[in-house]
Amino acid sequence: MNKLELAKMANEVRKGIVTAVHSAKAGHPGGSLSAADIFTYLYFEEMNIDPKNPKNPDRDRFVLSKGHTAPGLYSALAHRGYFPVEDLKTLRKLGSHLQGHPCMQHLPGIDMSSGSLGQGLSAAVGMALSAKLDGKDYRVYSLCGDGEIQEGQIWEAAMFAGHRKLDNLVVIVDNNGLQIDGKIDDVCSPYPIDKKFEAFNFHVINTDAHDFDALEKAFQEARETKGMPTAIIAHSVKGKGVSFMESQASWHGTAPNDEQYAVAMADLEKIGESLGGAN
């Protein structure tokens, strides 16, 4: 996909997020929207995956360590063809394969169940280690929240990945600066995030999470990095794309009501028009 197509797709992914969370009357729009461009880039450009063969042993893997932003992942998967986009409206409903947090047994395309913060990255490290043990060349990507990295297990996993020189592993930190209780640097600052990963023997790249040129450059650099894992610190805006959600911690885990949903969709329609209409 070219950059314009990616931008249009990311806007569709955002509509899916807002629609899913509105339909569920619950869920986490803020961090899903901040990561929408990352999900889009991974599933439409970066990763070697095939929705028709989701269990291919040689596929690239993705672990959503910040599992509460499942609406973002689900929307990307649906738009990529893993399941009908219409299913997004079943999010969190009884009997749905779209559980509140990702469940690998319920949904093809989910490489690891996650949601309890801090745990996903360890599983991603295990997958990357397995590739090394077997001499396979698949790559493993894991998305963490900037609040999530307050969990100690993240740094246990980072220490191991750095020690084992897992250069097939890319950790992306969605650095939107906000967590449930407020600004991450007010609650319990994880900064400097880049220097921490550097100290754990990662190659570190700071990038703009909403610029596909920058994302392409970052993931390319990660691919070219040998002998150490890469951490991409993706500077993002929480709630990106929906005017009243942007940079508001209160939209971390709140669903829009009908009126707010209409405004949100109008915002996204406007963005779509500015990009020249839907794909």
Partner 1 sequence: MADTSGIKKIATRESYGNALAQYGAEYPNLVVLDADLAAATKTGIFKKAFPDRHIDCGIAECNMVGIAAGLATTGKIPFVSSFAMFAAGRAFEQVRNSVGYPHLNVKIGATHAGITVGEDGASHQCNEDLALMRTIPGMVVMNPADDIEAKAAVKAALDYDGPVYIRFGRAAVPVINDNADYKFEMGKGVLLREGTDVTIVATGICVSASLEAAEMLEADGISAEVINIHTIKPLDEDLIVASAKKTGKVVTAEEHSVIGGLGSAVCDALCAKAPTPVCKIGMYDVFGESGPATALVEKYGLDAKGIYEKTKAFVK
Contacts to partner 1 by CB under 8 A: 57, 61, 63, 103-105, 111-113, 115-116, 118-131, 133-134, 152-153, 156-157, 159-160, 163
Cβ-based nearer residue to partner 1, 33 or 121: 121
Cβ-based nearer residue to partner 1, 62 or 74: 62
**What sign does the dihedral 22-28-32-33 (CA atoms) show?**
positive
Cβ-based nearer residue to partner 1, 161 or 245: 161
Shortest reach from residue 41's CB to partner 1, in Å: 23
Cβ-based nearer residue to partner 1, 42 or 178: 42
Shortest reach from residue 264's CB to partner 1, in Å: 31
Q: How far is CA 242 from CA 33, 127, 160, 262, 270, in A?
A: 8, 35, 38, 11, 10
Cβ-based nearer residue to partner 1, 123 or 234: 123
Phi-psi region of 175 (alpha: psi -120 to 50; beta: other; left: phi over 0): beta
Cβ-based nearer residue to partner 1, 25 or 136: 136
Shortest reach from residue 152's CB to partner 1, in Å: 8
Shortest reach from residue 213's CB to partner 1, in Å: 32
Shortest reach from residue 126's CB to partner 1, in Å: 2
Terminal Cα distance for the chain, rounded:
11
Shortest reach from residue 234's CB to partner 1, in Å: 22
Number of Cβ within a 10 Å radius of residue 272: 18
- Alpha-helical (H) ranges within 47-201 are 70-80, 120-134, 152-163, 184-187, 193-199
Q: How far is CA 165 from CA 135, 142, 179, in A?
A: 14, 16, 31
**Residue whose entry in the numeric block shows the structure tokens 């913060």:** 117
How big is the chain, counted in residues? 279
